[in-house]
Amino acid sequence: MDGLSRLEYRGYDSAGIAITGVEDSDGGPAGSLTVVKAVGKLTNLRAALAELEAAGGVPDSRSAIGHTRWATHGHPTVENAHPHVSMDGRLALVHNGIIENADALRTQLRAEGYEFTSETDTEVVVHLLDRAFHDPDLISWEGPLDGLEGGELARGWALVAAMITVVARLEGTFTLLALSQEVPGLIVAARRSSPLVVGRGEGENFLGSDAMAFAAHTTDAIEVGQDQIVAVTADSVTIMDREGSVLEPHHFNVDFARDRATKDGWPTFMEKEIHEQPRAIADTIADRLDSEGRLALDEVRIPESLLRGADKMIIVACGTAAYAGLVARYAIEHWCRIPVEVELAHEFRYRDPVVTEKTLVVAISQSGETMDTIMAIRHAREQGAKVIAIVNTPGSTISRESDAVLLTHAGPEIAVASTKAFTAQIAATYILGLYLAQVRGNKYVDEVQDYLEKLEKIPEKVQWVLDRAETVRQTARTMTDVDSVIYLGRHVGYPVALEGALKLKELCYIHAEGFAAGELKHGPIALIDEGQPVIVVVPTPRRPELHNKVVSNIQEVRARGARTIVVAEEGDTSVDEFADVVFRVPATPTLYMPLLSVIPLQLFACELAAAKGNDVDQPRNLAKSVTVE
């Protein structure tokens, strides 16, 4: 349950747990399999388990599997919650991913008399596994399952063999965990594309979608590769390939602070993480200069010759991370004189993009487990491109499947709505852009240092904005009954407008849309009616060709009755006569402005969500890491 609560941020429509009872006192076939499931947040499962425990219904156990669900197939109901169970109730399975040939398999199983109690693709797998587990002609497999002996060991080998058989028949993506009351000391697992990692403990072992699930118990983790199968007892971890050949385990350390994430007195993780941004940015850009004052990125292990030869960059990401990519494009094109495309990861490979070995692909992902982005970088690498990952989670799938990694050091981001990861991602793309400019000769060492020195001043400027949040909070509290908000921005302010709108959508469930300010008169201005809230991100007045046009945009919407809320630089009085409210940010170079102008928009959405009584950290329908396509 503790591990599940650390993973709840990944999805929380429903949850469940399956517990094997220890074998009968006379060592006969094992006693029991107890399954408890509940709809909604994990607290509901905790309550159901406590009730069962009070009634003496929770057995002493040697193994258990659990699951929090973000619904893909079937509504969030108890029947559709995982674990799913075989018809005889003796085998349980949980699954992340999508089984793409589930319908065909379901038809075949139904024809053989298997009955289904759910709408999920997962239930197909548990019946397939049960069928193989009891198949007299099952392939034979023998391997180290320490701690099992006699009849339990024989059934343990059969369960591993059954998993090998089933994995070969599945199409799509999956992380599977299964256990049987016939082998209470064994958990068998398998993965394809969905995340799975093993935690190696003392006399106990763990499996999780990410290491956070067990980081409180062990920092020694074992990677599970594509199409690999795992057999875990309390005393052994056996990794094998899809044919069942035992492999050498690859250990890595997961000693990061994510398991200790607590609110530290803040009302929500989101509030805390918004206020951690000065530190997140500072830590992400820290220690990037070598002894000669040159920008050196130890995590980027791509030969400089390849970086010099790159003729295009494509940034792939989703959601907020994609908006960080949109901001990065302005800086990297300006500094490196290389064309930069920003593509939503889930669109990228279906676009049949032009990708060659001279294309540099940058994947931006907080979790490092976003399936759309994983599939995009796989496609890019198949085309010969080099991939640099900008991720916030060490040891994540995206970081392990990229050619180079540039870590953001934002610390664990628990709130589903991304804030400090966003600003840390932007800062990391600036570091990458300056590094490329230096390697490619577009910028001299002293120019890079100048840009870096200005970037190092951003954390204190972010703190300046955070210290003046009262106007933002008051404004938000007056808008609980608003049903739509328009966000406008130009140049690097445009992705900020998109991000501001996304925050409002995902936290307040209000329709919000970000537009390029110049686009307004080409149609969207028809949306402006009396009192329509319009939030405008205004460039610095020191860039008049951008600034003056946006001020005109404010006048255009104000003339049509809009309620204008403006994010503008301190001292920029040109906006005052057209703004109902002004959120101030300190003066800063245009390219760095997004790191400041997004802060009021984050605070605005967070405050309004709280004022509306919404769950700020776990908004409805969302998951922190979308590990299915």
Question: Is residue 423 within the footprint of ligand AGP (CB under 6 A)?
Answer: no
Nearest CB to ligand AGP, comparing residues 116 and 266: 266
Half-sphere exposure for 296 (CA within 13 Å, toward CB)? 8
Q: Is the sign of the CA dihedral 488, 492, 495, 499 positive or negative?
A: negative
Q: How far is the CB of 378 from ligand AGP (least distance, A)?
A: 15
Q: Name residues contacting ligand AGP, limited to 365-384 (CB under 6 A).
A: 365-367, 370, 373
Q: φ, ψ for residue 205 (rounded to 5)?
A: -140, 160
**Interaction pattern, residues 483-522, with ligand AGP; x per rule: CB under 6 A:** -----------------------x----------------
Residue from 42, 432, 626, 628 touching ligand AGP (CB under 6 A): that is: 626
Amino acid at 265: G
Residue from 224, 417, 482, 554 touching ligand AGP (CB under 6 A): that is: 417
Q: How far is the CB of 64 from ligand AGP (least distance, A)?
A: 28
Nearest CB to ligand AGP, comparing residues 394 and 541: 394
CB 624 within 8 A of CB 18: no
- Which one, of 198, 207, 162, 204, lies nearest residue 180 by Cα? 162
Nearest CB to ligand AGP, comparing residues 185 and 195: 195
Residue from 321, 355, 439, 512 touching ligand AGP (CB under 6 A): that is: 321
Question: Is residue 601 within the footprint of ligand AGP (CB under 6 A)?
Answer: no
Nearest CB to ligand AGP, comparing residues 310 and 502: 502
CA–CA gap between residue 359 and residue 385 (Å, rounded) = 5
Q: φ, ψ for residue 312 (rounded to 5)?
A: -165, 150
Task: Report which DSSP code applies to 140.
Answer: P
Q: How far is the CB of 84 from ligand AGP (least distance, A)?
A: 26
Phi-psi region of 571 (alpha: psi -120 to 50; beta: other; left: phi over 0): left
Question: Is residue 540 within the footprint of ligand AGP (CB under 6 A)?
Answer: no
How many CB atoms are located within 10 Å of the residue 257 CB?
9
How many CB atoms are located within 10 Å of the residue 301 CB?
11
Nearest CB to ligand AGP, comparing residues 130 and 372: 372
Torsion of CA 255, 258, 259, 265, to 10 degrees: 140
β-pairing, 237-240 with 246-247?
antiparallel
* Residues near 87 by beta carbon (within 8 Å), at least 6 away in sequence: 114, 115, 127, 130
> How many helical (H) and strand (E) elements, i.e. helices and strands, does the chain have?
19, 24
Q: How far is the CB of 416 from ligand AGP (least distance, A)?
A: 5
Q: How many residues bind to ligand AGP according to rule CB under 6 A? A: 15
Q: How far is the CB of 408 from ligand AGP (least distance, A)?
A: 10
Q: How far is the CB of 417 from ligand AGP (least distance, A)?
A: 4
Place of tokens 């966000």: 487
Q: How far is the CB of 208 from ligand AGP (least distance, A)?
A: 17
E strand intervals along 461-599: 484-489, 511-516, 533-537, 563-569, 581-585
How many CB atoms are located within 10 Å of the residue 385 CB?
22
DSSP per-residue codes, 37-92: EEESSHHHHHHHHHHHHHTT-S---S-EEEEEE--SSS-S-TTTSSPEE-TTS-EE
Peptide bond into 83 cis (omega under 30): yes
Question: Is residue 418 within the footprint of ligand AGP (CB under 6 A)?
Answer: yes
Nearest CB to ligand AGP, comparing residues 11 and 244: 11
Q: Applying CB under 6 A, which part among 137-145, 249-257, 359-367, 571-579 lies near ligand AGP?
A: 359-367
**Interaction pattern, residues 281-320, with ligand AGP; x per rule: CB under 6 A:** -------------------------------------xxx
Nearest CB to ligand AGP, comparing residues 194 and 367: 367
Peptide bond into 586 cis (omega under 30): no
Q: How far is the CB of 421 from ligand AGP (least distance, A)?
A: 6
Question: Is residue 590 within the footprint of ligand AGP (CB under 6 A)?
Answer: no
Nearest CB to ligand AGP, comparing residues 80 and 397: 397
CA–CA gap between residue 515 and residue 108 (Å, rounded) = 50
Amino acid at 61: S
Residue nearest to ligand AGP (CB): 319
Q: How far is the CB of 518 from ligand AGP (least distance, A)?
A: 25
Nearest CB to ligand AGP, comparing residues 418 and 597: 418
Q: Applying CB under 6 A, which part among 240-248, 286-294, 361-369, 591-599 lies near ligand AGP?
A: 361-369
Nearest CB to ligand AGP, comparing residues 120 and 396: 396
Question: Is residue 396 within the footprint of ligand AGP (CB under 6 A)?
Answer: no
* Total residue count of the chain as it appears in this document: 629
Q: Given the rule CB under 6 A, which residues bind ligand AGP?
A: 318-321, 365-367, 370, 373, 416-418, 506, 625-626
